Structure 1
Amino acid sequence: MISLEESEQSLTEQEWQTFAQKIEYPLPESFKDFYLQHNGGYLETLFIDGEEYAPLIHGFMPITHGSLTIEQSMIDMQYAWDILQEVCIPFASDPGGNSFLLRIEPQHYGEVVVWLEEDKSIIAFRDSFTELLEDLPYY
């Protein structure tokens, strides 16, 4: 089971519904389940054979509560939407400032991509949010 540090205040079902209604397309159940359990936060430090392990995902952005929410990140990334030309929800970042995005438009529904800030490009990452969670060393 994943464990996050510094999660924000838990979401209520009503707060989730308010967030989801702002999005043009339905969100995957695994995404909803995750955010109702963990409203953002950072992965705990993991040590393997005495060495600190740095997971690719640095932290998950919260919804509604906190300073850098998913909603704020969507506003901040508006300049990139012309490049992306896709419907994506930013939900996490890596240590270098790249963003993990959940694709929600029908032809790519549920896929996870990474927005490479420096290159202004996206790369495929996982076929689903569930697959992403399963690939985390904590899950």
Structure 2
Amino acid sequence: MKFEQKNLTQINPDDVIAFENRIDRDLPADYKSFLLLNNGGRTDLCVLTVEKFGTVIVNDFFGLEDGSSLDLDDNLETFRGRIPDGFLPFANDPGGNLFLLTLNGTAPGGVFFWDHENEPHTAPLHWNEFKNVYKIADSFQDFVQQLKPDN
């Protein structure tokens, strides 16, 4: 899979460790590898099927880049309280929806689709009370393997 960089710089393992320390969570190994190799960006493999929504497009993958709208830290802060605790927004679609990676032990592992159109007015207390979050892959690697070209 080729990634087009969106002005994101190359990172190293110390950058990933620093991010994990800031969020007080460990990233899955497959996602760490992705960050070290790509640090976000766009790819030509960007379409997947989400059961409830049909075909969706992955617009941008977020990375570690202060001051960028694609920064993982900034997106995590922007959506704090709007997404389940322990979930990391790692990509978006053109309509403002998010792709989330679970980072806590209380939710099933994997990747989830966050539908902003059905966002609750007040944040639920538990991850499974978010009625706008749908599991779409068992792991980050599984998510990536589902991506197809945008023809």
Q: TM-score range by the shorter chain?
A: 0.7 to 0.9
Match for 2:133 among 122, 125, 134? 122
The TM-score normalised by the length of structure 1 is 0.81
RMSD: 2.1
Point out the more displaced range, 60-69 or 27-36: 60-69
- Deviation of residue 109 (structure 1)? 5.1
Query: Given the alignment of the two structures, is residue 132 of structure 1 paired with residue 134 of structure 2, yes or no?
Result: no
What is the distance in 2 between the residues matched to 1:56 and 1:136? Answer: 9
Q: Which amino acid aligns with 1:123?
A: Y
- Deviation of residue 29 (structure 1)? 0.2
Aligned residues of 2:113 and 2:134 also touching (Cα < 8 A): yes
CA offsets per residue over residues 86-133 of structure 1, 9 Å max, x none? 310100001111010101111335311111111112111111111001
2:79 alignment partner in structure 1 = 77
2:23 alignment partner in structure 1 = 23
Aligned residues of 1:110 and 1:128 also touching (Cα < 8 A): yes
Percent of matched pairs sharing the same residue: 26
Which structure 2 segments of 5+ residues have no match?
47-54, 120-131
Aligned residues of 2:45 and 2:147 also touching (Cα < 8 A): no
Number of equivalenced pairs: 127
Which structure 1 segments of 5+ residues have no match?
47-53
1:94 alignment partner in structure 2 = 93
1:103 alignment partner in structure 2 = 102
Q: Please show how residues 2-17 of structure 1 align to structure 2 within 5 Å.
A: 2-7=1-6, 8-17=8-17
